[in-house]
């Protein structure tokens, strides 16, 4: 069986997860007001384009750009993780992600999204992940619903900031359920915006046990035809998040060593 990520805290705790809902709801409400400021503060318009080196499992990044803490319909998985600088990306991938969230605001205005870890400003080893080293990898937490309403995936130190959540093959965890429709549409939009940035999606890792539910959505046939999903279980189970690798030609890793 695939292992779980081990860092920053212990396993899920139902009391804290339930309490986390309210806290995250408040947090995203606050983020709605802060988004313009956050975007402007992190990466001003006209910022330098990033350069990636090597591969996602052995790479670096120059001029990495952070995702904002939140926006009108999305939020970071953890304010702490974000403030530690764990949400940096290649500028093109960052734009693709933000453009996709913006399109989702039009497509499904009642949905909220939570992005997960991405990488360091200068790339390199990013524990506990095995990849995420050159700015081309993004984790996005699964969109979820509770009592029919969209909720940000509950995340705190007690459930490893959402990474400790466990879903069954129907996408259920306690009283929350994966919103497969929203996930399918998000992947569709992300594919579109990534193409536009010249950094198409290379592959998506999502627990194979949950593929059937995803492929049963409105975008299911399109996803099956157009996106490369890893078909076997990864080294950790990807039920509470999807991992996306984007495709860009990067400079050789040696070049980073000589320019820094
Ligand atoms: Zn990942």
For 30-49, what is the mean pLDDT? 47
How far does the centroid of ligand 1 lie from the alpha carbon of residue 118, in Å? 7
- Asked whether residue 3 is domain-assigned, the answer is no
End-to-end C-alpha distance for the chain, whole angstroms: 40
How far does the centroid of ligand 1 lie from the alpha carbon of residue 244, in Å? 7
Q: Is the pLDDT assigned to residue 47 strictly greater than 80?
A: no
How far does the centroid of ligand 1 lie from the alpha carbon of residue 138, in Å? 6
Give me the number of domains the chain comprises: 1
Q: Is the pLDDT assigned to residue 20 strictly greater than 60?
A: no
Instruction: Give Cα separations from 251 to 48, 52, 96, 135, 254 (angstroms).
Output: 17, 6, 21, 13, 8
Angstrom distance (rounded) from CA 74 to CA 152:
8
Residues in the chain, overall count: 260
- Residues 231-245: pLDDT tens digits? 877 777 788 899 999
Q: State residue 257's pLDDT score.
A: 75
For 107-121, what is the mean pLDDT? 97
State which residues form the domain around 192: 14-41+49-259
Q: Is the pLDDT assigned to residue 44 strictly greater than 70?
A: no
- Asked whether residue 4 is domain-assigned, the answer is no
CATH number of 243's domain? 3.30.1380.10
How far does the centroid of ligand 1 lie from the alpha carbon of residue 19, in Å? 26
- Asked whether residue 163 is domain-assigned, the answer is yes
Q: Is the pLDDT assigned to residue 260 strictly greater than 90?
A: no
Q: Is the pLDDT assigned to residue 8 strictly greater than 80?
A: no
- Asked whether residue 27 is domain-assigned, the answer is yes
Q: State residue 31's pLDDT score.
A: 43
How far does the centroid of ligand 1 lie from the alpha carbon of residue 140, in Å? 8
What is the pTM (predicted TM-score) of this model? 0.83
Q: State residue 3's pLDDT score.
A: 57
- Asked whether residue 205 is domain-assigned, the answer is yes
CA-only gyration radius of the chain, Å: 17
- Asked whether residue 136 is domain-assigned, the answer is yes
Backbone angles phi, psi at 151, to 5 degrees: -130, 145
Q: State residue 70's pLDDT score.
A: 96
- Asked whether residue 141 is domain-assigned, the answer is yes
- Find all residues with CB under 8 Å of 115, minimum gap 6, and list them: 67, 74, 75, 76, 77, 87, 97, 138, 139, 140, 141
Q: State residue 80's pLDDT score.
A: 93
How far does the centroid of ligand 1 lie from the alpha carbon of residue 237, in Å? 11
Share of the chain above pLDDT 90, in %: 69
What burial class does residue 143 get, using C-beta atoms within 10 Å of its C-beta: 0-12 exposed, 13-18 middle, 19+ buried?
buried
- Asked whether residue 7 is domain-assigned, the answer is no
Q: Is the pLDDT assigned to residue 259 strictly greater than 70?
A: no
Q: Is the pLDDT assigned to residue 98 strictly greater than 90?
A: yes
């Amino acid at each position: 069986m695939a292992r779980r990520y081990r860092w920053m805290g212990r396993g899920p705790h139902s009391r804290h997860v339930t309490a986390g809902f309210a806290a995250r709801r408040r947090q995203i409400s606050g983020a709605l007001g802060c988004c313009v400021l956050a975007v402007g503060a992190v990466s001003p318009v006209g910022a330098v384009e990033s350069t990636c080196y090597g591969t996602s499992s052995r790479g670096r990044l120059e001029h990495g750009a952070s995702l904002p803490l939140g926006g009108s319909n999305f939020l970071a998985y953890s304010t702490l993780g974000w403030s530690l600088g764990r949400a940096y990306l290649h500028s093109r991938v960052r734009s693709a992600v933000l453009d996709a969230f913006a399109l989702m605001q039009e497509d499904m205005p009642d949905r909220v999204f939570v992005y997960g870890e991405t990488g360091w400003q200068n790339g390199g080893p990013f524990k506990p992940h095995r990849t995420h080293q050159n700015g081309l990898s993004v984790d996005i937490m699964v969109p979820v619903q509770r009592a029919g309403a969209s909720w940000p995936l509950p995340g705190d130190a007690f459930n490893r900031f959402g990474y400790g959540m466990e879903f069954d093959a129907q996408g259920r965890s306690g009283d929350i359920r994966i919103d497969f429709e929203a996930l399918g549409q998000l992947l569709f939009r992300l594919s579109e915006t990534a193409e536009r940035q010249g950094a198409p999606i290379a592959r998506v890792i999502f627990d194979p046990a949950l593929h059937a539910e995803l492929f049963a959505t409105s975008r299911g046939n399109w996803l099956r035809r157009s996106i490369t999903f890893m078909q076997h279980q990864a080294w950790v189970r990807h039920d509470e998040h999807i991992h996306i690798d984007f495709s860009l030609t990067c400079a050789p890793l040696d070049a980073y060593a000589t320019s820094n």
